[in-house]
Amino acid sequence: MHGARVSSRGLCLLLALCWALSGYGQEGQYRSKVRIDPGGGLGGEAGLSIEELERQISSIGDSYAKSSAGRHLARHFVEKGEYDKAIEYYQTALAASGLSDVANREMLRELAQVYLLSEDYASAANALERALRIKLVPEATDYLLLAQAYYRQGKLVQVVSALDPISERGLTLTVPQQRQALALYYQAGAYAQCEKLLTQLLNLEPDNPDNWHQLAAVYLQQGKRKQALDQLVLAREKSVPFREQDTILLADLQAVNGNPYGAALTLEDALTTKAVPVDGRNYRKLFQFWLQARENERASAALVQAARLSGDIELYLYLAQLQMEQESWQPMYQTMLAACKNQLQDKYVGKANLLLGVSQLKLGDEASARRSFINATLIGGAGAQAGQWLEFMKAAPPTAREARGIVGVCHGARDKQVAADEFVEDNAPDSVATELTSQQKAAQQGAAEPPVAVDTKTVPRMKFFYLNYKKPFAQLASDAKSLAMAMGVALVKGGGSVDGPLQIIAQGEGDGGVLQLGFPYRGFPSARGKYKTLETPAFKCAYLVHSGTADALAGVWAQFLASVEQAGYELTDERRVILQVDRGGGTNDARLELQIGIK
């Protein structure tokens, strides 16, 4: 389910922030000149340089003086970033045993943090364990640092054992420390402790939406689906902001808690308000919710949208089967025409022809149904069922020409495609009359002119490196070369590479429209200044390739747009132009692919 985990990126950022805030110690600024007590044999007024103190420390006999000198040297080298030397002098100071337990504990804390900076996590844990064995009242910071050291070693059980004493000893954590402990507990899988911490944080920060959603996620990790649902319902009632994944999680929880009707209403409202993406994935989920709620008409409507938005042939076939069960023959026929509008993978061709044939037969078009059933017998997957339908129809056996290959609306790569209104007349078998059905005649007589044919496709998801283009669209061809060169250089310098031709994406029209000019890219480039990156979703479109001058583009575009509308497609607000400058012609010569978004 969505939203049920804290992201690893978020956890790492939280740990890094807490680590950065922890500091090195609490005793003021480091100094390059130090003075030590005269008990070590040095004159009380003698100011020794670091070099002199390093030479003499091994000869200092007084334990207090040696520990003090070692601690000062260690702090100096921490400031210089020379961690190996700092560690050496911390160990010297601790070994001399000349300072109090309070001072020794402070040195062990400092030593542990130097080990952490040096990524020697085992030694850091050892230093903190020594600090906690000192008979003094412990501090929460010691346990947090120890848990960090264990976490860096992958010792998740020890992470929990390091953190649990904080509450057992009644120590108080600040809000940032609570969040640090929460992140560590969560990574270690200690969800009961996470639940307790999040309950405290929710009381302290009731307006922080993260507290509400993270608590729901922690309930889920413990299998407490009802509590997770109650948490999100209450959050919604209190107008806590919901992200896309939070809304999807709420709907999923309603469904698994026995309320698919409520889940469907939640998701349907989110789709209506565009709180979640209006795409095939979410409409497919809506279909499943309505189906579980036994709202078959609403389920069918959602499945129609899912198939239309995704272009998923499996959804079309499932929808056709559902319509067949409901004896909705005309919608079933239209579904199969939409499913077979483009070339099918071979594995779907047999089932598609079978379903198309059923719809044709039930609508009275026996000649077309016969050919569709014959097609289904010529490829694996649905041949037996198609044969039974042919027997039921008492249809004439296939001729030699019909048995040679599939010819029809639902076709694969090696088959011949024929439009539905041309099929019987142009492709009737030798032994079957080529007379049009009454339904086809009526359609032809009622049409003022034949429908316009346009090519369609679904462009896959794309990573796009772009800039906003604000000049007149007609000027694009003349500007494209210079803009493309500068953009390509910026993309490569930023760590990416070009993965396709230059193109422009237009969202909306008129003054409110946005034009984005850029390249598909590979890699992970940084985008600076006027350049930006985005990942576009799959784009269903009608398309036309145009070769010529930019001066003719406006007229070609207008004619293409009219053709798409005349063909009966519902348009979206998105347009794309893929542009390749013709190096063999003038500066205004171009080969363009025009794309218009369709639903």
pLDDT at 439: 42
**DSSP type of residue 511:** G
Three-class SS of residue 553? helix
pLDDT digits (tens, 9 = 90+) for 384-400: 888 899 999 898 888 88
CATH 3.20.80.10, the chain: domain bounds: 456-598
User: What residue spans of 118-168 are helical by DSSP H?
Assistant: 121-133, 140-152, 156-168
Residue 398: which H helix or E strand, with range?
Answer: none
Rounded Cα distance between 561 and 558, Å, is 5
Q: By C-alpha distance, which of 18, 1, 299, 55 is closest to 180?
A: 18
CATH class for the domain made up of 246-446: mainly alpha
CATH 1.25.40.10, the chain: domain bounds: 8-230, 246-446
pTM flag (> 0.85): no
CA dihedral 578, 584, 586, 590 (to 10 degrees): -10
List the structure tokens of 185. 């507990």
List the structure tokens of 478. 């003349």
**DSSP type of residue 185:** H
- Residues 6 or more apart whose CB falls under 8 angstroms from that of 360 comprise 333, 366, 368, 369, 372
pLDDT digits (tens, 9 = 90+) for 181-194: 999 999 999 999 99
The count of other CB atoms within 10 Å of the CB of residue 145 is 25
431 pLDDT band (50/70/90 cuts)?
Answer: very low
In CATH, what number does 456-598 get?
3.20.80.10
What architecture (CATH level 2) is domain 8-230? Alpha Horseshoe (1.25)
pLDDT digits (tens, 9 = 90+) for 512-566: 567 888 999 988 888 888 899 998 898 999 988 877 665 666 677 778 888 888 8
Amino acid at 514: V
List the structure tokens of 292. 């579980």
Is the Cα torsion angle 82, 88, 90, 92 positive or negative in sign? negative
The count of other CB atoms within 10 Å of the CB of residue 325 is 10
| DSSP codes joined into one string, 207-243 | T-HHHHHHHHHHHHHTT-HHHHHHHHHHHHHTT----
Q: By C-alpha distance, which of 323, 322, 262 is closest to 293?
A: 262
